[in-house]
Structure 1
Amino acid sequence: MEVLVFKTNLRYKKQIDSVTPHINNLQGISRWNVDLDDIDKVLRIESDNLSPRTVETTLQQAGYHCEELQ
């Protein structure tokens, strides 16, 4: 199990609701959340064998910015 961490431009719960189906369609995710209180609006994903590029592309296709944090 690995934890992937991303900076996003998600600001509101309704934006999270709109990306939920996109994220839920990704294979290998056991749990995920967005911290709206963090300055970077951090998306954390617990997964097995999920590429960070796949997550970035998925959110970008949904209309949002997503960048992996090191």
Structure 2
Amino acid sequence: METLKFKTNIKCMGCISTVTPVLNEKAGVDKWKVDLQDPEKTLVIEGDSKPEEIVEALKGVGFNAERI
């Protein structure tokens, strides 16, 4: 199991509700979280997700993600 971290432009609960279906499908329910208090709005994913799939999935719903 790997921990992936991404800097994102997910900045509010409305954004979270938009990305939830996509991240639940790609990363798994309860396997991800976004720290809205962090200035970089860090997305942390636990599991076996491929970083490029996460980036593309978020891009598909209008958000940016950069692996850190």
TM-score, normalized by the shorter chain, greater than 0.5: yes
Identity among equivalent pairs (%)? 39
| Residues 29-48 of structure 1: pairs in structure 2 closer than 5 A | 29=28, 31-48=31-48
Amino acid of the residue matched to residue 36 of structure 1? L
Q: How many residues align?
A: 67
CA RMSD of superposed structures (Å): 1.2
Gapped runs of 5+ residues in structure 1? none
Q: Could you list the per-position Cα deviations for residues 23-59 of structure 1 after superposition, in whole angstroms to 9, with x for gaps in the alignment?
A: 1111x546110000001000000012x2100000000
Structure with more strand by fraction: 1
Runs of 4+ in 1 over 6 A off after TM superposition: none
Length-normalised TM-score, structure 1: 0.89
